Structure 1
């Protein structure tokens, strides 16, 4: 069994909490279209979602204080890692009752491939996988493109054996935040609350993660609630059926796949300028061939 675990931002650290819930609902819809039912989803947060959760999805409440805000409503890195890491710890404690072979920590606004659970089920004894190649998507622009080095950019990028998290036997889902910090020790800041250096962290402890053999997740940006604040500039592919079929991503309502929506204003200006230069150059070359005076 694969356990999907996520944490929700504290409402006091959210610019628009209904928006966070809307993003979560879309992510859960992505997980719910798995081609195998051998999974469980654990959502941990301070406020229970206002919508009905899908089958096999469980909400676990916590009363952790909001991390200190230093940049608008968003917490600094240490506060973010502690908040996310301790909530993921509660999620691992809750998942223990389901006896999962592997765990995938996911961000509550990303999307996952429909065949992840089926793949893990065939490889129960594997030491784990890293998604080093995925997709990055912006509904604001109604477009997407490939994202290599995915695990260095997005936290929805690791499928790890449950035992690797060293879940403390003496703790339950009613544990305090400090008890979670103390109980998980170095595991919490390195692979529960953060993700960028997880491959090396596991390797240093004898666990070599295998790259997932397909693009298994989509990093959703331009949401207004990304802790990283990352956007999607440059040229992108407009939304297509692949996103719906593999990841349950629906296009932005009312969006038209125009050149503007596909590439953005800066890239549009650059591509238009390049096109004009090519036309002028071509006209000049033709004139030189046809008109003797043009060669003088």
Structure 2
């Protein structure tokens, strides 16, 4: 059994919470395409979505305070990590009921490859996987491109044995946020609320992750709700059947509008500006080394 675990941002820290629910729904539809049914999904949040999530999804409600004191999507990093990490921690606690073998923490607006569960079950001897190669996608532009170094950019990037998280005893889904934070200790800020250094963190503790041998996830940007504020800039590959067939992502624009947004003048200009900036940076580095 593989469990997928995610968290929802606090409604008071969302620009448009109904849009967050729409993004979650798309993500759950992507997961539902798995070629193996041996999985379950846990969603942890402050307000249950107003759509039916189906028998494969369990919603865990919390009453945690918003991580930012004012209305808006962007808490500071410590508040974001605290909120996300404690919710993910509760999701792992709730998942104990399924006696899972594997865990994949995912962001509630990303997409996962339809073969993830099947691949995990076909490779039982592994200590886990890290997704170093994926895709970055913009629904606003209906385009995408390859993203290497994926695990340093996107949180939907690790598949680990459930036991690797050392889920603490003595806490439950009714525990307070402070109790969850205390119970998990350093694990929470290191790998539950953050992801960038997770592979190295687990390696230091004897869990060596292999690289997933295919592009296993899609990082969804340009939503207006990304905490990172990442955008897909420059020339992009227009939507095609790969996104639909492997990740369940439908086309969001007509063909002409897609081409204009992906390879039109603005996109070309951004790509040229990026190339010029990189060339200038390299020239400066070479000058510094030479002197």
Kept after mapping to 2: 8 A contact 1:234/1:266 = yes
TM (normalized to structure 1)? Answer: 0.88
Distance 1:142 1:234, change over 3 A: same
Q: What is the aligned partner in structure 2 of residue 47 from structure 1? A: 47
Tell me, yes or no, if structure 1 residue 167 matches structure 2 residue 167: yes
- What is the deviation of 1:261? 1.7
Q: Secondary structure at the match of 1:163?
A: helix
Distance 1:36 1:185, change over 3 A: same
Distance 1:145 1:172, change over 3 A: same
Q: What is the aligned partner in structure 1 of residue 78 from structure 2? A: 78
Looking at structure 2, the residues matched to 252 and 108 of structure 1 have their Cα atoms a distance apart, in angstroms, of: 19
Kept after mapping to 2: 8 A contact 1:138/1:220 = yes
Structure 2: 5+ residue runs without aligned partners? 273-291
Looking at structure 1, the residues matched to 271 and 204 of structure 2 have their Cα atoms a distance apart, in angstroms, of: 46
Q: What is the aligned partner in structure 2 of residue 150 from structure 1? A: 150
Tell me, yes or no, if structure 1 residue 222 matches structure 2 residue 222: yes
1:199-237 CA-partner distances (Å, limit 9, x unpaired):
111111111110000000000000111010000001111
Kept after mapping to 1: 8 A contact 2:73/2:227 = no
Q: What is the aligned partner in structure 2 of residue 184 from structure 1? A: 184
Distance 1:249 1:170, change over 3 A: same
Looking at structure 2, the residues matched to 93 and 72 of structure 1 have their Cα atoms a distance apart, in angstroms, of: 29
Distance 1:159 1:270, change over 3 A: closer
Distance 1:263 1:71, change over 3 A: farther
- What is the deviation of 1:270? 7.3
Q: What is the aligned partner in structure 1 of residue 282 from structure 2? A: none
Kept after mapping to 1: 8 A contact 2:13/2:71 = no
Q: Aligned-pair RMSD on alpha carbons? A: 1.7
1:80-106 CA-partner distances (Å, limit 9, x unpaired):
000000000110011011011110000
Looking at structure 1, the residues matched to 71 and 46 of structure 2 have their Cα atoms a distance apart, in angstroms, of: 21
Looking at structure 2, the residues matched to 197 and 71 of structure 1 have their Cα atoms a distance apart, in angstroms, of: 30
Kept after mapping to 1: 8 A contact 2:233/2:270 = no
Q: Secondary structure at the match of 2:126?
A: coil
Q: What is the aligned partner in structure 1 of residue 92 from structure 2? A: 92
Q: Secondary structure at the match of 2:174?
A: coil
Q: What is the aligned partner in structure 2 of residue 18 from structure 1? A: 18
Q: Secondary structure at the match of 2:159?
A: strand
Q: Secondary structure at the match of 1:103?
A: strand
Tell me, yes or no, if structure 1 residue 202 matches structure 2 residue 199: no
User: Which protein is bigger by CA-based radius of gyration?
Assistant: 1
- What is the deviation of 1:170? 1.3
Tell me, yes or no, if structure 1 residue 232 matches structure 2 residue 237: no
TM (normalized to structure 2)? Answer: 0.90
Structure 1: 5+ residue runs without aligned partners? 273-296
Q: Secondary structure at the match of 1:3?
A: strand
Looking at structure 2, the residues matched to 49 and 258 of structure 1 have their Cα atoms a distance apart, in angstroms, of: 30
- What is the deviation of 1:257? 5.0
Distance 1:264 1:66, change over 3 A: farther
